Structure 1
């Protein structure tokens, strides 16, 4: 397909991005693209400032590769512009294209999807989470990605916010819930017991708020693969055998590691002292997510059907 010519207004925008990047000591320019521009020409306009192009469109990705420009492929999902930009930054960090603590210039379509019209200077927080969709996809698990994402986002919220100005630590065990229930016992009277399944889904804002409240009490949450809370306040009984964890990790992390190894589930432990979230699989830490003041996380876009 033919490339889209760079209009005078867009050339001016890239020149402005170059000046802003130089004046503010930015490490790179990240372009959120939905058209097949002459990316080699864009690179020339930036005069030595690294260019990173992010897009979910295959034809744009192909054009970026042809021009030998650094590419960040995005998921092809219905998302808001803010979420796409957040994902672009997270993926760029995960690929070591930029680092936490860097400053970057982002160029994207802020008002009209077809036109690049917005320039932002973004500071990548020292505590920016390095969690990306590809990280979760690398896990060899039967737990659907959508469920895992929901639970991880909730864990990050708890680690960052706590509850009523108090730090909170807890455990989520996701997948293979029948075996997990067998290898655990009730520590408190389960507040979720007796409710219908549709009233215990982790996608419900009401359920998520209840979990944040109950998380202040010792015990683990057991989540089924489809996102239903099967138990809360559970004491995990899996033996901590043949496990090796970093020094400084307490009993909560040992319990999470043990249950993940014994049941082939994903255990997510939130540190009460630091808010750090760790994902355990087969007894080892496979992902670590540091807390941050402002969350960059996945968001779902709900679209109402047109009126009749």
Structure 2
């Protein structure tokens, strides 16, 4: 397939990326690509720094595979570069390409859509706390990894973006949906009721957008192991007995812990105050993801300590 030669500006950027990666002892470099470059040339410029290429475009994915490089395929184009980068990191860790605690250098288009112009040095221990391949593989014994990734990605987006400029907290319960439905009741009229199963799959961009909107309302989403939204706005009735949670976690996290213990489902709670995503299994937190920063905006920022 036709390839695009590396522009001079990208050559300079990759040389700078290599120097920074060496100085910071980075484990790897992640390139977010929307153009089918001569990726062998990219690899040569990085000179020994392991290269991971992430893209949602089939033609770019094909070029990476043809060049024999490591590919992280993204299922679709996300809304912002930061979301795309976060998605890439999650997939890279799940595939055991990098580990929690590693530093990586990211190369991506920060200002112009197809012009790679930005470097970021990322410490995974700061942005993806406790996220490990072993955790994900252990969770897969209850919920298929493909479904879990979709729900986790959605939870991270909700935690980072909120909705219409407002912070949003919500709760997803994945797997063993029949028992979860038995141990919950409607808090609102279920907006997913009556739709065919094929129109309620979390793989659908339309469904995910609807879920982001509904997330502003109290209650939990109940999702089957194959990714079908079986209910929304559900009030969870599992008893919060013999549970131990960190100080400061609110009722949403207690409900997540309780339902995960009572049903063996995976509960994913999004903190409204911090955007932190916590996964619960068997009544305890088994995975925690801290939100990465929003895409750059010009405005004043007020900060506050974590409240949940």
- TM-score over 0.5 for the pair: yes
Aligned to 2:58: none
1:177-216 paired onto structure 2 within 5 Å: 177-216=177-216
**2:166 aligned with 1:174:** no
Q: What SS does structure 2 have at the residue aligned with 1:155?
A: helix
**2:126 aligned with 1:96:** no
Check conservation: 1:21, 1:29, Cα contact below 8 A.
no
For residue 52 of structure 1, report the CA deviation from its aligned partner: 4.6
Question: How many Å separate the matches in 2 of 1:199 and 1:283?
Answer: 31
Check conservation: 1:26, 1:105, Cα contact below 8 A.
no
Check conservation: 2:159, 2:272, Cα contact below 8 A.
yes
Aligned to 1:233: 233
**2:282 aligned with 1:282:** yes
- Give unmatched runs, 5+ long, in structure 1: 1-11, 44-50, 62-72, 108-117, 296-308
1:72-221 paired onto structure 2 within 5 Å: 87=88, 91=93, 94-98=99-103, 104=105, 121-124=119-122, 128-130=127-129, 131=131, 135-221=135-221
Question: How many Å separate the matches in 2 of 1:197 and 1:215?
Answer: 20
* TM-score, structure 2 as length reference: 0.65
Check conservation: 2:100, 2:128, Cα contact below 8 A.
no
Aligned to 1:249: 249
For residue 121 of structure 1, report the CA deviation from its aligned partner: 3.2
**CA deviations over 1:16-72 (Å, ceiling 9, x no partner):** 4588439x954437357988xxx9xx56xxxxxxx5565999xx89xxxxxxxxxxx
Aligned residues, how many? 249
Check conservation: 1:74, 1:88, Cα contact below 8 A.
no
Cα RMSD for the two superposed structures: 4.1
* TM-score, structure 1 as length reference: 0.65
Check conservation: 2:161, 2:294, Cα contact below 8 A.
no
Q: What SS does structure 2 have at the residue aligned with 1:94?
A: coil
Check conservation: 1:29, 1:105, Cα contact below 8 A.
no
1:28-47 paired onto structure 2 within 5 Å: 28=26, 30=28, 42=47
Q: What SS does structure 2 have at the residue aligned with 1:221?
A: strand
For residue 141 of structure 1, report the CA deviation from its aligned partner: 2.8
Check conservation: 1:171, 1:268, Cα contact below 8 A.
yes
C-alpha change, 1:248 and 1:88, in structure 2 (3 Å) is closer
Question: How many Å separate the matches in 2 of 1:222 and 1:85?
Answer: 24
Aligned to 1:21: 20
